Amino acid sequence: LGAFGDAGFCVTDHPEVAERIDLLRVHGQKVKNRHLFYGFNSRLDELQAVVLRIRLRSLDEENRRRRKIARFYSEAFSFMEEVLPPPDSEERLSVYHRYVIRAKDRDRLISFLAEKGVGTGIHYPQPLHLQEAWERERFERYHLPISERVSSQILSLPIYPELTDGEAEYVAEKVKEFYRGGP
């Protein structure tokens, strides 16, 4: 759940995950000045905490709304060879913070959707193994062709609780229109 700026918080019902998250927010410090691993300075100020506390009241409703939009998109694209929706599973319940699809001819689709007033995003533009952090840490350079191919195909479609059914229908229709060859 996000607040203003970079603030946010995590929710889990797994004690070991909660402990790890708690340690990450204070540079891996379990005892003062004793660091078990790298972490972050992620302590909330009071204003961010108030914003999150208010947003928490509507979290379940917002998650249900995003799931409804995601189901709609997935059904709309289910018979299209050019679009691969994110996997859905009974074992996990996604909150669909992003709705990331794999799309044939992604860059042209992005341009087409922009012309039609539909915003998209590329939130994972480069696989981790190609990023500087791997070089700095002296990790071996990997060749992962599937990851590289997928990163050139993915894009995020609009998904947020305030998105109306009509707007979601418009997005899906414009994606279909692109692959049909225009209006």
Judged against a pLDDT cut of 80, whether residue 40 lies above it is answered with no
Residue, of 7 and 169, whose pLDDT is higher: 169
Judged against a pLDDT cut of 70, whether residue 3 lies above it is answered with yes
Question: For 26, phi and psi rounded to 5 degrees?
Answer: -125, 45
Cβ-contact 122, 102 below 8 angstroms: no
Q: Looking at residues 46-69, what average pLDDT do you find?
A: 92
pLDDT band at 146 (very low <50, low <70, confident <90, very high): very high
Average pLDDT, the chain: 87
| pLDDT score, position 131 | 75
Q: Looking at residues 65-89, what average pLDDT do you find?
A: 95
Judged against a pLDDT cut of 60, whether residue 56 lies above it is answered with yes
Sorted by sequence, the CB contacts under 8 Å of residue 17 that are 6+ apart come out as none
Q: Looking at residues 136-145, what average pLDDT do you find?
A: 68
Q: Looking at residues 13-42, what average pLDDT do you find?
A: 80
Of the candidates 12, 53, 21, the one whose C-alpha atom is nearest the C-alpha of residue 40 is 21
Q: What is the pLDDT of residues 82-130, one digit of tens each?
A: 999 999 887 888 999 999 999 999 999 999 999 999 999 998 888 877 7
Nearest-angstrom CA–CA distance, 139 and 11:
31
| Domains of the chain with bracketed CATH | 15-56 (no CATH), 59-180 (3.90.1150.10)
pLDDT band at 141 (very low <50, low <70, confident <90, very high): low
